[in-house]
């Protein structure tokens, strides 16, 4: 990578939403009567994000109060509560379903409930992590947030889902990878705490994409070869020429649409995007580590959560990262994790090293792990 400069530090206020701000901005500027509803929804969604960013910033700078976990709770059991915002923006909304209660007629409630459980299932049964905080944190979600809200986000306390505008986006509970993506932001907050800016922010986004895919693959029983490797599959209506928001298999190929434009993600450091937008390109440049994971998983074969996923999980939770870890530092950390679990020079270690080299990240460079 040549001729790039470090992006200006991003504002402190941010939130981890599944739809990148640049995509909403493009949609907000559409002057086509066929998409008038979607354009207005995008404008409203962008304005609505600011107080959420402020809330996230407050949470990131204050100590978390102790979480109450029910006495006698069985480790690894899930404790879910789903709330209905009723098209308002006041959180959490009205509680409509709790752990162990039957399905409702509201499909968004049921999808959120199931998605929380399927995410917990992967992290507990495969990695031994008991909820987001590792100590049984109850999992809460709010559906029907806002009117035609075009996003889903983790606000530091709960998952929040909009219903979409109906022209470009459908309801955001429809995709399991979206639910797991957002919950993984919570795990990152409790572990590595990667700063949501520049390369560390792109890693933050990439980790959520990786585990979003793994939760979906685990729930479907799909091998690395059989999986779609898409984030947000099913979010677009049939009026959009696109498969999903992002592709780990082929970053830059998820959509190509007259209204939304072309997926701008790079898949190699030669295409690294130098920008001050999107907190220094966190949703853009995440395509580079995303493809490194995909290459590792498919090189190893089998189920992606078993070896490649284990290496990435060990890296995220093993104390090897710091807030401002960059791509080279993260690559080096994954090699350290692979060596610790499988041995230096093992097939797993070799696959990790080769994959980073193929996306143009030098895993032998003096990357920033703990600066």
Q: Which residues are catalytic?
A: 182, 283
Find tokens 């350290």 and name the residue: 336
Distance in angstroms (rounded) separating the CA atoms of residues 370 and 325: 6
Radius of gyration of the chain (CA): 19
CB 166 within 8 A of CB 39: no
Element (H, E) at 318: none
How far, CA to CA in Å, does 237 sit from each of 164, 186, 230, 342? 10, 28, 16, 43
Would you tell me how many other CB atoms lie within 10 Å of the CB of residue 146?
A: 19
Interstrand relation of 80-84 and 94-98 (parallel, antiparallel or unpaired): antiparallel
Retrieve residue 313's tokens. Answer: 């999980």
Find tokens 């284990």 and name the residue: 310
Listing DSSP states for 94-162 in one string gives: EEEEETTPPP-S-HHHHHHHHHHHHHHHHHHHTT---STTSS---EEEEES-SSS---EEE-SS-EEE-
CB 246 within 8 A of CB 259: no
DSSP letter (8 states) at residue 324: T
Element (H, E) at 322: none
Report, in this order, helix, strand and coil percent for the chain, each rounded to 5. 40, 10, 50
| 301-351-319 Cα angle (round to 5) | 105
């Amino acid at each position: 990578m040549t001729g790039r400069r470090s992006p200006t530090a991003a504002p402190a206020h941010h939130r981890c939403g599944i739809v990148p701000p640049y995509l909403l901005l493009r949609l907000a500027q559409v002057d086509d009567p066929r998409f008038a509803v979607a354009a207005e929804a995008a404008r409203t969604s962008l304005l609505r994000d600011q107080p959420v960013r402020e809330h996230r910033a407050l949470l990131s700078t204050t100590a978390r109060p102790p979480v109450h976990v029910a006495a006698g709770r069985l480790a690894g059991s899930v404790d879910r509560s789903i709330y209905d915002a009723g098209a308002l923006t006041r959180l959490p909304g009205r509680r409509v379903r709790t752990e162990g209660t039957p399905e409702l007629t509201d499909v968004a409630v049921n999808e959120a409930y199931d998605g929380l459980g399927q995410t917990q299932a992967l992290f507990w049964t495969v990695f031994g992590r008991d909820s987001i905080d590792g100590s049984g944190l109850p999992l809460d979600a709010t559906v029907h947030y806002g009117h035609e809200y075009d996003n889903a986000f983790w606000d530091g306390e709960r998952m929040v889902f909009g219903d979409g505008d109906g022209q470009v986006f459908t309801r955001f509970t429809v995709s399991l990878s979206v639910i797991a993506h957002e919950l993984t932001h919570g795990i990152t907050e409790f572990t590595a705490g990667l700063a949501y800016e520049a390369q560390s922010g792109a890693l933050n986004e990439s980790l959520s994409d990786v585990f979003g895919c793994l939760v979906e693959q685990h729930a479907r029983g799909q091998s690395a070869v059989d999986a779609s490797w898409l984030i947000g599959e099913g979010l677009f209506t049939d009026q959009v020429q696109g498969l999903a928001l992002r592709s780990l298999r082929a970053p830059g190929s998820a959509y190509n649409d007259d209204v939304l434009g072309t997926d701008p993600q790079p898949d190699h450091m030669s295409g690294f995007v130098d920008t001050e937008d999107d907190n220094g390109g966190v949703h853009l440049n995440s395509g580079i580590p995303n493809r490194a994971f995909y290459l590792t998983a498919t090189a190893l074969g089998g189920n992606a959560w078993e070896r490649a996923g284990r290496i990435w999980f060990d890296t995220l939770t093993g104390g090897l990262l710091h807030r401002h870890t960059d791509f080279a530092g993260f690559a080096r950390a994954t090699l350290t994790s692979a060596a610790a679990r499988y041995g230096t020079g093992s097939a797993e270690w070799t696959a990790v090293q080769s994959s980073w080299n193929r996306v143009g990240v030098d895993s032998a460079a003096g990357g920033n792990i703990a600066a």
